[in-house]
Structure 1
């Protein structure tokens, strides 16, 4: 049973938190200080009590006893002189002695009221003095003046005996009072020495207690915190393999364990991130190869593929001009279809090249005045605007930091679509607005054309998605998809307003300054999500 008592106690102390250690330590320190304070107060009270007894009782009592003796001696001297000479002048010291005796006796009674032995000594003195006064002093003092008293001569021996008894009582009283004063003084000195030793011990205990508190704080709180801070700084500096050893009270150990758990989790996350980075590096390399192949394809599409296409288009047009009307109607129809197909194929290839260049070739951001871009757009579309009788108005347009080429393509596609998709017999009326919304600019392009049904509001921004046949409205179906790509490249969004019914309203946002250039990984991620041309 004895051998098993240690570990549970150790386990119990190991579960103590910093707050509990501080609470117990403060309570213990306060209890010790309270005990020391009570001891010091008792020593001071004891010293004060003995000092007051010596100063206020013992010394005054001894001096009063001496004065009482002097008063009785004056009485004896006066009576003896009066009895021998009969001169009344000797009665003066006797009368004064009586007065002094009464005063000193009362004072001694007051001083010795708590001292039974002292009161007994005072009673013995008073009894002896009373016997002498009754037998000698009063009878002699009552004799007529002018002649020696015969009574004094007759009782001279008795008077000497009775006054010797008074002297003996006075001597005994004074010896006792002197002994009591000496004892009180010895007690005071001993108590003062004990007090000095006690206060020295109290000071030593306080110093020891302060040292213990300081050492306990250093070992239990300061050192574990410093060690934890050192480990945390080492981990923050990149030494993630450094373990944290829990020390100190239970809450500090728990904190160390939590930080070490966070370190281990961070190591796992870093390992996972490193693996993901290596995987992304591999994917990036693959995407770079893929982009290089796409660049090669774009080069081939813009040069090598268009060369035979131009030949096909040129020779079919020559056939149409030279042999038009010489063959039958079917041949002329077939030749026209071939010419139209070649021209549309060339247009599609050029549009695809323009679409692929957005954000890849044209990315020179600079300050762009959209007012000037709008004027250039109206000038380039002037033929179609004049043919349709279109009216174009706009609010004051801001100046943004953007790619000027892409801004021109954006406005040309939006204004061109608004002019192209007008209602038959109704002149197009197009209005452009620009309003700041937070950190962005919000633009709307509103027309009174044929409109877009709500179910096609998202479909129109997909490449090659057409809502009408090429015979009704010419085009490649790539314009709004290119607008969407340009707007998103400049950090904005674009959408068709489904609430607007009297035509079409397309709203989009642009940032005053362009977003940061996308990283290779972001480009690769976006490239994998975009539809292939």
Structure 2
């Protein structure tokens, strides 16, 4: 095999997955165990067969052959004693021996039915015994009792010779049986040794297999996983540039590659996050600078602009009082325009300052009883309520952690709008309700006023957005925008309920406790996009 073929073979093996390695190893181990198991089973069966043949055939055959020899000797002894004495008692062993002979021969024939040598030995014993009985045993036993048999003395030499042939046949039979018994014992001992060797080989193979499995798992799974875990811990420790080296079977290599891909993706995400953080820091700096400028604008609006505006308003009012009616009608109209513009500018600046203070100046969270806050609002609006005859009712209101000043501004704008935008010739009826909605409180302010068209449901919450002329309804168009800012500052939302008919229903939510809020400067900066365009 060339080096290139060997390297290709190694690459092919390295492409195997853990499952393929386990399947191949288990298949090979099971095949070897199956072969050894078949060999062991065959040897167990062979051992049992030899043992059964030894116990059930060979040993009983030897014992039966010995009993047969005893039965034949009894016959010869009984006949010889009867022939010498003529006493009938000597015929009893002869007759018992014949009966035992028949039983023993039948037992031997049954035990050795598939043993040709054993059957020939039985036939030889039977023939020799039949010759002795025909020539000696039978005639002597048939002689009359009471006197010695002349036949026994006449055929003594022949009787000895024929019975010696019986003894020879018995000896050959027993030798054959003992030899076969010894052979069976030797076969049994040899088979037991082979069986023990096979089982020892099975045990050794199992030990070797266990060692190979342990070593294979250690090298193929444990070590790659430990290396992967070590590299993962290095990355977890903060070294995201540390590469993941793929080792082990194909599936573990794929896992390592996927983890390394995830690491590279994390490196990219971290780089992106770092870049985003730098941009966010730059934007935060710009936002802080914008906040500072906005605070300067608020200071200018509250101090520097107020004084000249008051002068303009004061002197235009002086002109109106002193020269009103002395000039022509157009001059009086111009003076009225100047006074009205100055007053409206004063109102806009004050409202704008109040809007900018939400979350910046008014930011003192404490337990606020919204029922009491609403009572204070109704007291401050008592003049307009009495003038319009408004009927205002409200359900029990909860106590929340909030800024009390902002809650007062919220109620004042909502109730004030409900009273202001009433239907002509109809008594205003306003109801405030509050229900717990999961973790938030949901409030509704319902009136029977002129209502809000669906296409303006979002526009009314934009600062300085008016749906009516100043001649029809007074105001700066900042009230609902301030309500939206207050509600969102307290972690809620506000909207117009478009399903309500015959009036307006404002729905807003408040959190029982405020979430973490940015600093005052950031809150002002968040409204800078609203304030600057309006200017």
Q: The TM-score by the shorter chain falls in which range?
A: over 0.9
Q: Is the 8 A contact 1:284 1:521 kept in 2?
A: no
- Report what 2:62 is aligned to: 62
> CA separation of 1:499/1:62 partners in 2, compared to 1, >3 Å: closer, same or farther?
closer
- Report what 2:255 is aligned to: 255
Q: Deviations over 1:24-68 (max 9, x none)?
A: 333333333333322222222222222222222222211211121
> CA separation of 1:455/1:483 partners in 2, compared to 1, >3 Å: closer, same or farther?
same
Instruction: Number of aligned residue pairs: give it.
Output: 533
- Local SS of the residue matching 2:80: helix
- Please state how far the C-alpha of 1:323 moved relative to its aligned partner: 4.8
- Report what 2:416 is aligned to: 416
- Report what 1:486 is aligned to: 486
> CA separation of 1:29/1:524 partners in 2, compared to 1, >3 Å: closer, same or farther?
farther
- Local SS of the residue matching 2:443: strand
2:144 and 2:521 map into 1 onto residues whose CA distance is 145
Q: Is the 8 A contact 1:132 1:162 kept in 2?
A: yes
- Report what 2:188 is aligned to: 188
- Report what 2:246 is aligned to: 246
2:135 is equivalent to residue 128 of structure 1? no
- Local SS of the residue matching 2:410: helix
- Please state how far the C-alpha of 1:461 moved relative to its aligned partner: 1.7
- Report what 1:498 is aligned to: 498
2:456 is equivalent to residue 437 of structure 1? no
Q: Is the 8 A contact 2:463 2:530 kept in 1?
A: no
1:131 and 1:326 map into 2 onto residues whose CA distance is 187
Q: After superposition, where does 1:221-300 map in structure 2 within 5 Å?
A: 221-300=221-300
Q: Is the 8 A contact 1:385 1:419 kept in 2?
A: yes
- Report what 1:167 is aligned to: 167
- Please state how far the C-alpha of 1:531 moved relative to its aligned partner: 5.6
> CA separation of 1:310/1:525 partners in 2, compared to 1, >3 Å: closer, same or farther?
closer
- Report what 1:198 is aligned to: 198
Could you list the runs of 5+ residues in structure 1 that have no partner in the other structure?
none
- Please state how far the C-alpha of 1:333 moved relative to its aligned partner: 4.0
- Local SS of the residue matching 1:69: helix
- Local SS of the residue matching 2:364: coil
- Local SS of the residue matching 1:477: coil
> CA separation of 1:426/1:271 partners in 2, compared to 1, >3 Å: closer, same or farther?
same
Q: Is the 8 A contact 2:359 2:523 kept in 1?
A: no
Q: Deviations over 1:297-356 (max 9, x none)?
A: 111211122122223333333444455555555554444433332222221111111111
- Local SS of the residue matching 2:434: strand
Using the size of structure 1 for normalisation, the TM-score is 0.93
- Please state how far the C-alpha of 1:265 moved relative to its aligned partner: 0.6
- Report what 1:370 is aligned to: 370
> CA separation of 1:148/1:301 partners in 2, compared to 1, >3 Å: closer, same or farther?
same
Q: After superposition, where does 1:13-32 map in structure 2 within 5 Å?
A: 13-32=13-32
Runs of 4+ in 1 over 6 A off after TM superposition: 519-522
- Report what 2:455 is aligned to: 455
2:349 and 2:466 map into 1 onto residues whose CA distance is 17
2:184 and 2:525 map into 1 onto residues whose CA distance is 103
- Report what 2:104 is aligned to: 104
1:472 and 1:441 map into 2 onto residues whose CA distance is 35
Using the size of structure 2 for normalisation, the TM-score is 0.93
1:292 and 1:521 map into 2 onto residues whose CA distance is 8
373-382 vs 457-466, greater mean Cα deviation:
457-466
280-289 vs 496-505, greater mean Cα deviation:
496-505
Q: Is the 8 A contact 2:366 2:403 kept in 1?
A: yes
- Report what 1:395 is aligned to: 395
1:292 and 1:17 map into 2 onto residues whose CA distance is 65
- Please state how far the C-alpha of 1:103 moved relative to its aligned partner: 1.5
- Local SS of the residue matching 2:507: strand
CA RMSD of aligned residues (A): 2.4
